[in-house]
């Protein structure tokens, strides 16, 4: 009986042990399934990362090719622009030489030149006058004022001369106009200034200080005052402002 009891006790212990082992195996199996899933997920993530890396590398190559293409195109464009500028400069010099030769011919024609010039547009006339001797050009401006068939042509020429820039150096022809006006009577100058802005008039009068007697400048200012005292005062203020030294500029 004791042996039988011992045998039963051993069987029960064995069953418990087997049950414990079976549960451990089930836990190990579940753990292995979880590890296998994690490994599969890791492989998927790795594959996705490698695919993304290849896409980034491909995109980098595309961007690099595009950048190189843009650099090459910019270099070609810059070279084309340089060639175009050079070509235009040559054309401008040729055109300017043509205008200069014609301007010399008009100078020799004296007052008769106006009969030929009046057939051109104000812009063309301004180009010729800009290349002529100042005294002779001022005489033609006076003749333009006296042309009863084209009463507005003189002012139109004046406006074009403010804008013209034969040397492509920027700015206006203020100094050129000031030189022309220095040879004209004050009453003739006034009609050219009617449609000019106060700033343009002030710039011209300041430029005239270097080549025009004070008496003539005073006559122009007096004529402006009689015409419109408020406008004359605005012009005078702008002239004084132009003469005033810039801030920080030392006076010698």
- Please spell the DSSP secondary structure of 77-143, one letter per residue: HHHHHHHHHHHHHHHHHHHHHHHHHHHHHHHHHGGGHHHHHTTS-HHHHHHHHHTS-HHHHHHHHHH
Provide the pLDDT for residue 90.
52
Q: What is the pLDDT of residue 189?
A: 84
Per-residue model confidence as pLDDT tens digits over 120-176 = 999 889 888 888 888 888 899 889 989 999 888 888 888 888 777 665 444 457 877
Dump pLDDT digits (tens) for 223-235: 889 988 999 999 9
Which DSSP category does 248 fall into?
Answer: T
Q: What pLDDT is recorded for position 235?
A: 92
Structure tokens at 224: 């402006």
* pTM, full prediction: 0.49
pLDDT tier at 87, thresholds 50, 70, 90: low
> What is the average pLDDT across 42-63?
87
pLDDT attached to residue 83:
61
pLDDT value of residue 249: 46
Instruction: Please indicate whether residue 84 or residue 99 has the higher confidence score (pLDDT).
Output: 99
Show Cβ contacts of residue 223 under 8 Å, excluding neighbours closer than 6 positions: 186, 187, 190
Report domain extents, the chain.
Answer: 91-242
Residue 184: pLDDT above 90?
no
Which residue did the predictor score with more confidence, 114 or 88? 114
pLDDT over 70 at 218, yes or no: yes
Average pLDDT over residues 195-215: 86
């Amino acid at each position: 009986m004791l042996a039988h009891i011992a045998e039963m006790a051993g069987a029960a212990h064995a069953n418990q042990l087997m049950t414990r082992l079976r549960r451990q195996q089930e836990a190990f199996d579940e753990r292995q399934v979880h590890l296998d899933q994690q490994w599969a997920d890791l492989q998927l993530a790795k594959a996705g990362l490698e695919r993304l890396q290849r896409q980034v590398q491909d995109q980098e190559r595309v961007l690099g090719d595009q950048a190189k293409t843009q650099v090459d195109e910019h270099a070609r464009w810059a070279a084309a622009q340089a060639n175009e500028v050079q070509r235009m400069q040559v054309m401008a010099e040729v055109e300017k030489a043509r205008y200069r030769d014609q301007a010399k011919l008009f100078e020799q024609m004296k007052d008769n030149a106006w009969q030929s010039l009046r057939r051109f547009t104000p812009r063309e006339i301004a180009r010729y006058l800009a290349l002529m001797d100042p005294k002779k050009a001022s005489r033609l401006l006076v003749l333009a004022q006296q042309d009863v068939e084209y009463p507005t042509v003189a002012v139109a020429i004046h406006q074009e001369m403010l804008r013209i820039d034969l040397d492509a150096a920027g700015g206006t022809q203020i100094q050129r106009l000031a030189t022309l006006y220095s040879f004209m009577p004050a009453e003739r100058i006034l009609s050219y200034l009617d449609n000019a802005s106060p700033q343009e008039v002030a710039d011209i009068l300041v430029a005239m200080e270097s080549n025009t007697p004070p008496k003539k400048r005073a006559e122009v200012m007096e004529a402006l005052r009689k015409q419109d005292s408020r406008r004359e005062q605005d012009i005078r203020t702008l002239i004084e402002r132009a003469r005033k030294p810039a801030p920080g500029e030392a006076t010698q």
